[in-house]
Structure 1
Amino acid sequence: MRRVSTLAAASTSLSRAILASSEHHHEYNKLFQAASFYAANTGSSRRWFSSSVGSTSPGGYSSTAAKVFLSLGCVAASVAAGASSLFVEEEAYAKEPISPDLVPKEVVLYQYESCPFCNKVKAFLDYYDVPYKVVEVNPLSKKEIKWSDYKKVPILMVDGQPLQDSSAIIDQMRTKLSPVKSTSVVNDDEEEKKWRRWVDDHLVHMLSPNIYRNTSEALESFNYITSNGNFSYTEKYTVKYAGAAAMYFVSKKLKKKYNITDERTALYEACETWVDALDGRDFLGGLKPNLADLAVFGVLRPIRYLTSGKDMVEHTRIGEWYARMENVVGESSRVKA
């Protein structure tokens, strides 16, 4: 009985902490707390779970519920084409030029390794080769961000200035770096904005029902979360099993909330929608990724090598674009703290 209580307490603490990584976490806390309690007390809490979840918003579940943490070289020239073709490929996928004097002197990212919003920011920093240090936040104690009134991640400290909210961080960093834009790129800003909104309003909602769709995938996801997160040995155990159980039940509610009949089909359709938006282009930005490309890539990167991500690449056309993104984003620009 004591062990069950411990799991329930740990899972509830986990809900309050890790789910703060969602930009709109306040509405979500009740939902995950309800799932956590349900997972540890299945027989007696069914009525309490339903009433608690139903009270998160006038319409039922939180409108931002799917923004849960995840908590979670295909560009090669043909040999027959010779060295000139190889040069063309490298030229086409060259990164945006950044003036060295515009690169901040010190950049520190406070993050959860598996958080899709943190990974959006990292995709941007990696693409623009901005050196950054990482501080992995313990989602239970949050002691690493005690200094901040803002209790969610990501937080990006840029030369002593804290930036918050993944999309706002990226916008502000682009302004700071001021990469030279061609006229055609400027004219495509509306398309870029449209698909960045699509990432936050639609694509992220597909993730949780997929990575927690059954018990084995839920455990796989939490194994990744606990292996890459900042947890003590005891926390790893309780987080992995209590969290996986809780999110398995939450994923079923998310399916109902977003009218998802089959979670894999919904993920595949989202991927195909993105590939259709490319309209034959290598990237939405043309020969170079724009912020929408980086947002989609960043959000999908934490799941790419989970079962759901492998299925995604196998059963949709997104694999070639994703491989091009891996190639052009390149190695992480992260430096040791």
Structure 2
Amino acid sequence: MSMRRVTGLAVLGRAIAGNGGATFSTTAGSSAAQRRQILTSCCGHTSPLWFTQRQPDRFDQSRSTVARGVPETKRFSVTATTLAQDFDAKEKFQPKDVVLYQFEACPFCNKVKAFLDYYNIQYKVVEVNPINKKEIKWSDYKKVPILKVDGEQMVDSSDIIGKLYQRVHPEKSALNSEEEKNWFRWVDNHLVHVLSPNIYRTTSEALESFDYITTHGNFSFSERIIGKYAGAAAMYFISKKLKKKHNITDERAALYEAAETWVDALKGRQFLGGLNPNLADLAVFGVLRPIRHLKSGRDMVENTQIGDWYARMESAVGDSGRIKA
């Protein structure tokens, strides 16, 4: 297996941890230009996003409303009204052809998928090979995610979500919820940075992660076998650099603290959005979804209070709208 392929696999490993855009020396023998090209090939997410807070709209998530003392009849009336409004919004935005170019493990790609799934938007997925990126040769933008909506290219996960939200809710004004915007940004600015040191904390965890990555990614059989071990070894050492870069002393403690920080932000609500997820809920859920059943994700759920919220999010987001390309 060529050194260039090993480097590409390491990049994909970083994608599952949310560090696809950073650049630093990773593999001896590959040129600086190659490293820069590969290490910046995924997860563009720097564009600003203006948010609007979604309103409650589901019958089975109304306990927090009762706790605030809203009469039962009024609660039913408000929930039924907002449910109808949200249903109408989803019905109005029905693109004919949606294609997502992605890495399966990329947290920023999973942010976009969480939005698409929640809003019942069907989409096709094209898995991008991190080595040659031949699937996106047609685009001037060389990172993922890239989303094509009826032929229109959208790039950068936050910008994609912002544009889609405006199409689902064209009547909503921007910057309606500062809380939602701040927590959405927290996902990219903090949460993703604690993932890599946890996912590749030990050699066994690194192997577990690369088993997932190579199984779900666009790899041949030989690339999967060799890449699992070569990529895991590379990412084990890279994760130590990331740990130092982000001033993390205890990986698990940092992950647990991030999870509890999010739970505290809910302030007893079912979701940050109230009775239903808002964009920040979807972003946190999307980023965590690829690691949920890895050891780091299992430990997080077992040792923090995030599990109940995550289970509610799984129910709210529902089945994937992904269709076979």
Is TM > 0.5 for Structure 1 vs Structure 2? yes
- Residue 12 of structure 2 is aligned to residue 11 of structure 1: no
> Could you report, residue by residue, the CA deviation over 1:237-288 in whole angstroms, capped at 9, with x for unpaired residues?
2221111000000111111111111100100000000011000111111111
Whole-angstrom distance in 1 between the partners of 2:175 and 2:158: 20
Whole-angstrom distance in 2 between the partners of 1:262 and 1:9: 32
The answer to whether the Cα contact below 8 Å between 2:17 and 2:199 also exists between their aligned partners in 1 is no
Segments of 5+ residues of structure 2 without an aligned counterpart are 45-59, 64-71
Which among 252, 259, 262 is matched to residue 240 of structure 2?
252
Task: Quote the residue 1:144 is aligned against.
Answer: 135
Question: Shift in Å at residue 17 of structure 1?
Answer: 7.2
**Pairing of 1:56-205 with structure 2 (within 5 A):** 96-97=86-87, 98-178=89-169, 189-205=177-193
> Could you report, residue by residue, the CA deviation over 1:21-56 in whole angstroms, capped at 9, with x for unpaired residues?
99985642x33336x98xxxxxxxxxxxxxx9xxx9
**Letter in structure 1 aligned against 2:310:** Y
**Letter in structure 2 aligned against 1:285:** G
The answer to whether the Cα contact below 8 Å between 1:156 and 1:162 also exists between their aligned partners in 2 is yes
The CA RMSD over aligned residues, in Å, is 3.3
TM-score scaled to structure 1, two decimals?
A: 0.76
Task: Quote the residue 1:326 is aligned against.
Answer: 314
SS of the residue corresponding to residue 322 of structure 2 reads: coil
Whole-angstrom distance in 2 between the partners of 1:120 and 1:25: 14
The answer to whether the Cα contact below 8 Å between 1:209 and 1:251 also exists between their aligned partners in 2 is yes
**Letter in structure 1 aligned against 2:198:** N
**Letter in structure 1 aligned against 2:163:** Q
Whole-angstrom distance in 1 between the partners of 2:19 and 2:201: 23
Which among 250, 258, 263 is matched to residue 270 of structure 1?
258
- Residue 228 of structure 2 is aligned to residue 240 of structure 1: yes
- Residue 202 of structure 2 is aligned to residue 214 of structure 1: yes
Whole-angstrom distance in 1 between the partners of 2:20 and 2:101: 17
**Letter in structure 1 aligned against 2:188:** D
Question: Shift in Å at residue 101 of structure 1?
Answer: 3.4
Question: Shift in Å at residue 136 of structure 1?
Answer: 1.0
> Could you report, residue by residue, the CA deviation over 1:113-138 in whole angstroms, capped at 9, with x for unpaired residues?
11100000000000000111111111
Question: Shift in Å at residue 100 of structure 1?
Answer: 2.3
Whole-angstrom distance in 1 between the partners of 2:324 and 2:307: 31
Question: Residues 17 and 226 from structure 1, CA distance in 2 versus in 1: closer, same or farther, beyond 3 angstroms?
Answer: closer
SS of the residue corresponding to residue 153 of structure 2 reads: strand
Which among 276, 295, 302 is matched to residue 314 of structure 1?
302
SS of the residue corresponding to residue 272 of structure 1 reads: helix
Question: Residues 151 and 313 from structure 1, CA distance in 2 versus in 1: closer, same or farther, beyond 3 angstroms?
Answer: same
Whole-angstrom distance in 1 between the partners of 2:161 and 2:185: 13
The answer to whether the Cα contact below 8 Å between 1:109 and 1:157 also exists between their aligned partners in 2 is yes
Number of equivalent positions? 288
Segments of 5+ residues of structure 1 without an aligned counterpart are 1-5, 38-51, 57-61, 69-74, 79-83
The answer to whether the Cα contact below 8 Å between 1:17 and 1:141 also exists between their aligned partners in 2 is no
Question: Shift in Å at residue 10 of structure 1?
Answer: 2.6
SS of the residue corresponding to residue 234 of structure 2 reads: helix
Question: Shift in Å at residue 11 of structure 1?
Answer: 1.3
SS of the residue corresponding to residue 319 of structure 1 reads: helix
Task: Quote the residue 1:291 is aligned against.
Answer: 279
- Residue 25 of structure 2 is aligned to residue 31 of structure 1: yes
Question: Residues 104 and 18 from structure 1, CA distance in 2 versus in 1: closer, same or farther, beyond 3 angstroms?
Answer: farther
TM-score scaled to structure 2, two decimals?
A: 0.79
The answer to whether the Cα contact below 8 Å between 1:22 and 1:117 also exists between their aligned partners in 2 is no
SS of the residue corresponding to residue 25 of structure 2 reads: helix
Question: Residues 284 and 20 from structure 1, CA distance in 2 versus in 1: closer, same or farther, beyond 3 angstroms?
Answer: closer
